[in-house]
Structure 1
């Protein structure tokens, strides 16, 4: 009786990290279209700096307000959080906004979330930090095949400018994969809010340094109101809220599992890009999206499926020792 009562209560915490990551993926998906609007009004370096400068300030204020609920992380942890922030905030978003200035937002919403899990898994396997079943590998390959179908359906401009933008997105995906792996070790025993604030603030400062030379190139009085509205949204939603939820999720799931969930970002990114930017979306792209989701699901649940398949079936009279 006790076991039946306690099991439902234990299920909720197990699902919470994935719910945190799902909220993050929705926010990340919206960031492609929103950032594209800002890049159209100012240099990509300045757009990135405004997004994460504002997000970093917001997180620092939030950490100060909730100071009594979150213990200090210490100087050493703050330094490590800052270094990871330079990778996951500065480097990644430099490539992210640069790619948006060259290629459609749809390209970025496919390339970054599809390649990141593949690069993360490959790195973890090379370092022998994780094991991947055949089902999980198959899921990653299926997800990649779905991305290829999506891109084939996109068609459109094949100029060198778009190709360069896609290659820049690939560099961003590599930065995000490395960021996910390093964040897992960084977060051990650390409060997520203060860790997020430190990482985002330092990364945002790095972007401000990169953007400083472009300040004179911006016609500030001519920046339209919708662009400023998107800057505020990016600082609050896809930055402060999303990074906090992402840190929370990474505390309890593996880096590869977390980045595999980024396969859902193309769905959200495509939706926002289609609705707000009027970018093309065809039946072939829809088919590719469905294939990607199937691959992501298999990649996430692959190890579980293999373990269940390999588990021996017991005869009615057999006994099993239960380990609590």
Structure 2
């Protein structure tokens, strides 16, 4: 019982951290920091911490040509592209839109598994893909008259978030063999290092342009939150919980993240939740539910990719 409570606490903690980020990031961007600068700070901080943890805890290296290439692809797709697209999109759209669109990642995992691993897409999963795709498309193309703030481009921001979810879904498929072969800290140290090398050329100007001495205490705390809690603590909680949680339980928390994001955004006055968004969200949730159901006749050797709450 105690272990079960700890699993729920870890999953809820990680989910809450991810959900709160949608609203907190809007405080920082674009008034105090631009998206690429924020991504640069976050990835550099995570790369430093995970490389230290890797040396202390794992003390191993990724070896071999195929594993090295795979780790580089993970860093480019799952860290650099994923983060640049997410924060660019969130800067242009609303917290609720971003949180709802990101739930299509499990759909991308299934499609990527079909293309890269030859997994079969059943009629039920195909229906789920269509429903989720329709829901995401309606959100991406929708624009409430007068709802956008000056400088925002909601459809473009929504499109960036969809590309972010796509990059993360592909990353989950290609990183799984590395996670099974090496210690997680070894993998994270390598891919965040690759991500940092890829991101710095895009974001260093925005990072150094931040007026650090004059940042309000609240903004400082939110930046620290994104570096330490969002990237590091949320992963540690997630990684521990996924070793003890069933796929069904993990799936429940996929749906909880956007619910929490909506509650936080509305309570902080960052966004509004309309009937239209509720209907669009329902299409995505039903689609993800159908896709996440594993076929009964599925062979045991098929790769299983945990549908983690989105680690942005």
Q: 1 or 2, which has the higher helix percentage?
A: 1
Counterpart of 1:106 in structure 2 is 96
Distance 2:235 2:197 in 1: 16
Note if 1:73 corresponds to 2:61: yes
Specify every segment of 5 or more residues in structure 2 that has no aligned partner in the other structure, as ranges. 299-312
**Structure 2 residue aligned with 1:121, among 110, 122, 126?**
110
The structure-2 alpha-carbon separation of the partners of 1:78 and 1:225, relative to structure 1 and needing over 3 Å to count, comes to: farther
Q: 1:241 to 1:204 in 2, by over 3 A?
A: farther
CA distance in 2, matches of 1:36, 1:201: 26
Please name the residue that 1:43 is paired with: 34
8 Å contact kept, 1:153–1:282: no
Bigger mean CA offset, 224-233 vs 213-222: 213-222
Provide the rounded CA distance (Å) in 2 between the counterparts of 1:20 and 1:133. Answer: 33
Match of 1:171 in 2: 163
Q: Is the 8 Å Cα contact of residues 142 and 294 (structure 1) preserved in structure 2? A: yes
The residue that corresponds to 2:301 in the other structure is: none
**Deviations 1:258-307, CA, capped at 9 Å, x for gaps:** 89975554223323322335311123433443453343333222524x88
The structure 1 residue matched to 2:226, chosen from 202, 215, 234, is: 234
Q: Decide which of 77, 83, 86 is 1:87's aligned counterpart.
A: 77
Q: Distance in 2 between the 1:170 and 1:147 partners?
A: 8
CA offset at residue 46 of structure 1?
A: 0.9
Highest Rg: 1 or 2?
1
The 3 A distance-change label for structure 1 pair 302 and 58 is same
**Partner of residue 43 from structure 2, selected from 20, 37, 52:** 52
**Cα pair 2:74 2:174 within 8 Å, conserved:** yes
CA 83–122 in structure 1, closer or farther in 2 if over 3 Å, else same: closer
C-alpha separation in 1, matches of 2:239 and 2:201: 25
**Residues 196, 244 of structure 1: 8 Å contact kept:** no
Whether contact under 8 Å (1:263, 1:292) holds in the other structure is: no
- State the alpha-carbon separation in 1 of the partners of residues 136 and 156 from structure 2: 18
Q: CA deviation at 1:24?
A: 4.7
2:129 to 122, 140, 144: 140
CA contact (8 A) 1:180 1:259 kept: no
1:217–1:193 CA distance, 2 compared to 1 (3 A): closer
For 2:33 and 2:85, locate their aligned partners in 1 and report how far apart those are by CA, in whole Å. Answer: 16
Matched residue, 1:273: 265
Q: Which residue of 1 aligns with 2:174?
A: 182
CA, structure 1 residues 237+215, in 2 after alignment: closer, same or farther (shift >3 Å)?
closer
Give the TM-score normalised by the residue count of structure 2: 0.74
Alignment partner, residue 283 of structure 1: 275
Equivalent residue pairs, number:
288
Return the alpha-carbon distance in structure 2 between the equivalents of residues 33 and 186 of structure 1. 33
Matched-pair contact (CA < 8 Å) for 1:117–1:260: no
List runs of 5+ in structure 1 lacking aligned partners.
1-11, 308-324
Between the aligned partners of 2:45 and 2:251, the Cα distance in structure 1 is 25
Equivalent pair of 2:110/2:291 in contact (CA under 8 Å) = no
Map residues 299-310 of structure 1 onto 2, 5 A cutoff.
299-304=291-296
